[in-house]
Amino acid sequence: MDFEFSEDENRFLREVDQFLKDNHDPQVMDVTRENMAQVCDTPERRAFMKKLAARGWLGITWPKACGGQDGEGFYEYLLNEKLSSVGAPQIGKGVGIIGKTLIRVGSEKLKQEFLPKILDANVEFAVGYSEPSAGSDSAAMRLKAERQGDGWVLNGQKVFTTSAHFADWYWVGARTDPDAPKHHGISLFLIPMNDPGLTIHPMYTMGNERTNAVFFDNVFVHDDYRVGELNKGFQYIAEALDIERFTMFTFSPIRGRLELLCDHVKNTTRDGKPLREDPVIRQRIAQLATECEVARVLGVKFVDAALNSSKTPTAEASEYKLYATELSRRIADATMDIVGPGAQLALGTADGPLKGRSESCYTYTVIDTIGGGSSEVQKNIIATRKLGLPRNF
């Protein structure tokens, strides 16, 4: 495959660059929020997404019958990379996880209600998979959904629902058949976040970003808001997670962290000697730069595989997610080592090295190796689904 961009792809990149220049806003674009920059948790960020929608950039790969453009996924990839490079919100889980799942398996009622709102950036979603006993293992979820009349009553708890405190709708997995095997008996539901049976409690990460615990107390959901076939929710979740593992962890912020470290090394002296002349530091930077190119190519490889397959390439998604997030962590580790004791100063410390970015990058990148499925989960997926190795249970 060709890893270089075509003339049309470069033209699109220039168009996006000009759009970002024309709409520059520090309240919207903040690279210091690392991968959390993708969320639309303020009015300014929602307004920015409406501008993206007006350009037709939220439905590039959707079928024309659903309001999209039937375009190539590579342009969606290029758009997300450009947005993440400046810390702007990305096209999001509404377009990807929710929208593409509804297009594939949703009822006509759900398509008509939600797809136009997604394309117009008029709705934000929270995703509820993780639970206290089911983090990276979504199949272990225990949120109970019991049949009642023409709907379902949900009781239990979700954790690490990042968008719960500002989203409009909750995309939730719940166990509808407690007697079914672990990977079966789960169904997907859409629930309004203002339902009186939902209680939201903040949970702050080590990166000081808010996520949430959500408690369900007799939350009633009409069966019309069940997504797809009954008890097949885990299959839908697994396919959507492949998209999430790629789109949540774009390459541009990783490259940005390395460029930040390189700038520090170029312009800093220690004991009267430039850091850039230290052979140990030079070797470490060269190694990370090489690994960055590997991560970029793995991302392009995933997009190419997705374009040439009727199904999302699971193993390639896990390969990229594992390599990219572990590389990001290695860059953060190197930054802490090379910058020295000053690297521990908090983000925003004006007279600190890198203005505190090394500390914030370190805490964020630890989280990245867990979100969307931990590194251990990705290794298991690659081992069993690509290498054909036996499961260890």
pLDDT > 70? residue 310: no
So where are the chain's domains?
Answer: 7-90, 126-231, 249-386
Residue 260 scores a pLDDT above 80 = yes
The model's pLDDT over 283-294, given as tens digits with 9 standing for 90+, comes to 999 999 999 999
pLDDT value of residue 141: 92
pLDDT band, residue 2 (cuts 50/70/90)? low
Average pLDDT of 313-340?
92
Measured distance CA(110)–CA(99) in Å, rounded: 10
Strand pairing category for 169-175 and 186-192: antiparallel
CA distance 153 to 75: 41
Alpha carbon dihedral 348, 354, 356, 359, in 10-degree steps, equals 160
Q: By C-alpha distance, which of 85, 80, 30, 20 is closest to 259?
A: 85
* CATH, range 249-386: 1.20.140.10
Q: Is the confidence at residue 244, as pLDDT, over 70? A: no
pLDDT at 38: 80
Class of the domain covering 126-231: mainly beta
pTM above 0.75, yes or no: yes
Of the candidates 156, 188, 184, 158, the one whose C-alpha atom is nearest the C-alpha of residue 171 is 188
Judge whether residue 246 has pLDDT over 70: no
pLDDT band at 34 (very low <50, low <70, confident <90, very high): confident
Q: Identify the pLDDT of residue 245.
A: 62
Lowest mean pLDDT, pick from 11-20, 116-125, 170-179, 296-305: 296-305
Q: What's the mean per-residue pLDDT of the chain?
A: 91
Number of Cβ within a 10 Å radius of residue 123 = 17
Position 393 pLDDT exceeds 60:
no
Most confident of 178-192, 306-320, 345-359: 178-192
Q: What is the mean pLDDT of residues 45-54?
A: 95
Q: Indicate the residue type of 55.
A: R
Contacts of 242 (CB under 8 A, 6+ apart): 312, 313, 314, 317, 318
Do residues 19 and 83 make contact, with C-beta atoms less than 8 angstroms apart?
no
**Which pairs from 178-183 meet CB under 8 Å and 24+ separation?**
178/144, 180/231, 182/139, 182/140, 183/139, 183/234
Instruction: Give the mean model confidence (pLDDT) for residues 48-65.
Output: 94
Query: Poorest-confidence range of 21-25, 60-64, 179-183, 309-313?
Result: 309-313
Instruction: Please give the pLDDT value at position 140.
Output: 84
- Pairing relationship of beta strands 269-270 and 125-128 according to DSSP bridges: unpaired
Are domains 126-231 and 249-386 of this chain identical in fold? Answer: no
Indicate if the pLDDT at residue 105 is higher than 90.
Answer: yes
Average pLDDT, stretch 186-196? 97
Read off the pLDDT of residues 192-222 as tens digits, 9 standing for 90 and up.
999 999 999 999 887 778 899 999 999 999 9
Angle, in degrees to the nearest 10, between helices 314-339 and 279-307: 160
Report the C-alpha gap between 39 and 103 in whole angstroms. Answer: 23
pLDDT the model gives residue 182: 83
pLDDT of res. 169: 98
Report the pLDDT averaged over residues 159-163. 92
